[in-house]
Amino acid sequence: MNLDLSTGKISLILCPTDLRSGFNRLSAMALKYLSIDVSKGNDWVVFVSKRRNIAKIIHSDDKGSLMISRKLHTGCYQRLMADADGAASRALTKDKLLKYLDGNDLDFKREHFLYK
């Protein structure tokens, strides 16, 4: 089994999802609404629950399909914004995904343009 997150594209779905669904339903939603065909093996798709404390990652390769669940014991995953007419997903790097799955924030509000 290959869990190399650096292969393929990682897409974080920005809209909360009902995570009672399994792999088949989540991959069907990715295909129907975002045109991401997980069965090709080129994508890792990350869904977050409405309460933002559970994430599920789906992926497929030539040997089979996998779904990984991660539930935070404390805190929640950051709510990320999207353009009103933009995509409902956001591309992430492996490092940013791992940071996000640990409950760390990816974005922050800038108070001044000179400071990080």
| CB proximity list for 78: less than 8 A, separation 6 or greater | 52, 100, 104, 105, 106, 107
List the domain range (segments joined by +) for residue 89.
Answer: 9-101
| Number of domains forming the structure of the chain | 1
Three-state SS annotation for 30-74: HHHHHCCCHHHCCEEEEEECCCCCEEEEEEECCCCEEEEEEECCC
For residue 106, tell me if it sits in a domain.
Answer: no
Label the pairing between strands 9-13 and 43-48.
parallel
For residue 107, tell me if it sits in a domain.
Answer: no
Q: With cut-offs at 50, 70 and 90, classify the pLDDT of residue 6.
A: confident
For residue 48, tell me if it sits in a domain.
Answer: yes
Average pLDDT for residues 92-102, to the nearest whole number?
Answer: 93
Q: Tell me if 76 sits within 8 A of 51, measured CB to CB.
A: yes
| pLDDT at 82 > cutoff 90 | no
> What does pTM read for this prediction?
0.87
| pLDDT at 111 > cutoff 80 | no
66-81 exposure pattern, b = at least 16 Cβ within 10 A, e = fewer: ebeebeeeeeebeeee
| pLDDT at 116 > cutoff 90 | no
For residue 116, tell me if it sits in a domain.
Answer: no
For residue 23, tell me if it sits in a domain.
Answer: yes
Average pLDDT for residues 26-54, to the nearest whole number?
Answer: 95
